[in-house]
């Protein structure tokens, strides 16, 4: 038994040494990674000057106007502000308000359009209610955000962009009253 106990002790020492080495490697990996990022400039979140958005063109201001329409839908739909002044490259969030005037749930989807038309190539939406169908309960009112950036590559002669949304009812998606289960009719 003395030989087996001796081998067990050696195995325990080797396993403990392996655990210490793995812990040390994991512990040293974070500063090592930070140093690599600092040297290469990759993912440099540690420097305060890396927080500033260098893509914003503070020398230029663009007016973004908002419009809202509904097509054969008893909804009230409007932007909460008529327009905003933005610098190209700046992240901006605005909101629209929609309410269902029917006595039953209705599903609709918004389709955006831009004026002038070429502005659509330079208008980047990060968050938009137009990406998904919206189902509103009877009398429900909802605020829907739109987060966007006007690309700094927007031609200099474009000083105003109009973002217009038209809500259309989704055919076959009118909901019937079924005790709150929201079953399409």
- Does residue 68 sit in the same domain as residue 45? no
Confidence check: pLDDT of 45 > 60: no
- Does residue 82 sit in the same domain as residue 135? yes
Containing domain of residue 89, as a range?
A: 62-169
pTM, to two decimals: 0.64
Give CA–CA dist 24/117, Å, rounded: 58
Where are the strands (E) in the chain, listed by range?
62-71, 75-79, 83-86, 91-100, 106-115, 123-127, 134-136, 141-150, 160-169
Instruction: Kindly report, residue by residue over 135-183, the tens digit of the pLDDT.
Output: 999 999 999 999 999 999 999 999 999 999 999 998 765 444 444 444 4
Instruction: Kindly report, residue by residue over 47-84, the tens digit of the pLDDT.
Output: 444 444 568 999 999 999 999 999 988 899 999 999 99
Predicted confidence band of residue 39 (pLDDT cuts 50, 70, 90) = low
Total domains in the chain come to 2
Predicted confidence band of residue 44 (pLDDT cuts 50, 70, 90) = very low
Give CA–CA dist 138/115, Å, rounded: 33
- Does residue 42 sit in the same domain as residue 119? no
- Does residue 89 sit in the same domain as residue 119? yes
Q: Is residue 72 part of a domain?
A: yes
Please name the helix (run of DSSP H) or strand (run of DSSP E) that holds residue 53, with its range, or none: none
């Amino acid at each position: 038994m003395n030989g087996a106990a001796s081998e067990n002790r050696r195995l325990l020492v080797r396993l403990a040494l392996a655990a210490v080495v793995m812990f040390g490697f994991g512990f040293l990996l974070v500063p090592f990674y930070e140093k690599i990022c600092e040297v290469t400039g990759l993912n440099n979140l540690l420097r305060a000057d890396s927080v500033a958005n260098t893509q914003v063109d503070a020398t230029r201001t663009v007016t973004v106007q908002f419009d809202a329409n509904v097509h054969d839908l008893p909804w009230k739909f409007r932007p909460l502000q008529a327009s905003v002044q933005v610098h190209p490259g700046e992240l901006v969030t605005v909101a629209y308000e929609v309410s269902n005037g029917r006595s039953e749930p209705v599903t609709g989807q918004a389709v955006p359009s831009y004026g002038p038309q070429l502005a659509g190539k330079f208008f980047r939406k990060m968050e938009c209610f137009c990406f998904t169908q919206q189902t509103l309960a009877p009398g429900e009112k909802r605020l829907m955000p739109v987060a966007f950036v006007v690309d700094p590559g927007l031609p200099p002669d474009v000083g105003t962009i109009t973002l217009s949304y038209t809500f259309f009812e989704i055919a076959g998606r009118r909901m019937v009253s079924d005790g709150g289960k929201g079953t399409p009719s």
